[in-house]
Chains A and B, each alone.
Chain A
């Protein structure tokens, strides 16, 4: 049942995206990989791919509100927990193609510029993924509690915060090497653990909110 609900959400997401948006993404992908140079990698991972990876809650909420998807789910033979689980699963499945685009991007970028080591690309990818998981989980929970406007604004705010942080670190050339006193891989593992914890808490909260709203 959860798979069915997730499948429906994923299909709605892909069907809703126009061909134009795919072409636009492909062009941006190539520009960042080939023309921007050193900063292209982080820009793609953290801004473009991550922004795309985290749009699911907003788009699915829009489908719920404008096309009564919420009501449709309630009419199905499934529990509230399955409905929430289906939405979480869909949001993370939607991330997969963008996630897979990152290594492809890294290879092209590396061949074109040779700015970073392969290990550095992997770290960039994983860090971007951790951020995407956390943003998605938070936004999904909010999407069960609030209207579409709130979800859209929260999405923009979270992405803007990330852009601002990225710009500050890049433009001001802030040295983050102090983080290296901990093993970087350990830091990434801790990041994943934290992201999973946030997702778990968000899921439980979302189930509670959904049940409460039904009443």
Chain B
């Protein structure tokens, strides 16, 4: 499968934070969810992918091209929705059409109008008078109206109510159905990623802790609550991390079926993305 995005060993160093050796790729037609605590390096990674920030080392290839040679073409084929990166509050919704058609060569006015209609966005309102949800929808309408093949979302759905979030998730799934488009989505709302992500990338303290397909997670990962004896009987290869509790252990299994086969009376729960994140942050990682 062709990769739409390839991030190769990028690092960025600051005085009090560093992003180190980030490597991953997103195939066409896939949704890649990016998780991590606040300050883990998600936005820095996205800024490097968007060439809004120069990485100190490593490189980014999007659509098989690099920014040094094809920055304009790459950016014109990416739709970006970032939390806090709203349109200027004094502008009207109707102004967006006039501005964006001058900024994007592939701007599709009819497509933009149809999104405005679908999202019920009023043309005669200023951006500052829109609700948070409407403002996010406006950003989505813009990101989806210039022929973007890769959609990058940075906490774009935070602050939205569940109904609106669900609407956005549906939109993302629609976006990738033709298997030519992809989405890279960073979100704190791990339940959203449980629903739509094909891959999960977990960044912790500036480094990748975990990059797996959802299929792999669903099939192999599990959470086991067990006593000390059982924990000690487990092979270290069976789990990624564990959290010692007062009288028991919580274990993140990486081969649930094998453990269940080996220990007949053991039944592990399926691991959610939130479980994995908590194990990697709070637990003892093997």
Contacts and interface: CB of A to CB of B under 8 A. Distances in A.
Centre residue among A12, A67, A71, A78 by max chain B CB count within 10 A: A67
Contacts of A72: 85, 87
Interface stretch (B30-38, B50-58, B227-235, B250-258): B50-58
A1 interface: yes
A36 to B, nearest CB: 33
B6 to A, nearest CB: 20
Nearest to A15: B90
The 5 closest A-B pairs by CB, nearest first: A4-B102, A77-B75, A77-B76, A4-B103, A15-B90
Given A4-B99, A79-B72, A71 B85 contact: yes
Interface in A59-102: 63, 67-69, 71-72, 74-79
Nearest to A64: B88
A74 B51 CA distance: 8
Interface residues on B, range: 20 to 34
B54 A214 contact: yes
B72 A8 contact: no
A77 B99 contact: no
A3 B99 CA distance: 10
Contacts, number: 70
A118 B228 CA distance: 98
A7 B53 contact: no
Contact of A3 (B84, B91, B102): B102
A215 interface: yes
Given A7-B102, A15-B90, A78 B85 contact: no
A11 B91 contact: yes
9 contacts: A5-B103, A7-B98, A12-B90, A15-B90, A74-B50, A77-B72, A77-B103, A78-B72, A214-B54
Interface of B: 50-54, 71-76, 80, 82, 84-92, 95, 98-99, 102-105, 126
Nearest to A3: B102
Contacts of B98: 7, 11
Centre residue among B87, B88, B89 by max chain A CB count within 10 A: B88
Contacts of A16: 90
Nearest to B102: A4
Contact of A77 (B71, B84, B85, B91): B71
B159 to A, nearest CB: 16
Contact of A67 (B50, B52, B86, B102): B86
Given A8-B99, A11-B95, A74-B52, A68 B84 contact: yes
Interface in A1-60: 1, 3-5, 7-8, 11-12, 15-16
A68 B53 CA distance: 15
Contacts of A67: 86, 88-89
B50 A79 contact: no
Nearest to B76: A77
Nearest to B100: A4
Interface string A165-182: 000000000000000000
A76 B75 contact: yes
A15 B90 CA distance: 6
Contacts of A76: 75, 103
A74 B82 CA distance: 13
Given A11-B95, A77-B71, A68 B85 contact: yes
Contact of A75 (B80, B91, B95, B99): B80
Given A15-B126, A67-B86, A75-B85, 16 more contacts: A1-B102, A1-B103, A4-B99, A4-B103, A11-B98, A15-B91, A68-B86, A71-B82, A75-B82, A77-B74, A77-B76, A77-B104, A78-B75, A79-B72, A214-B52, A214-B54
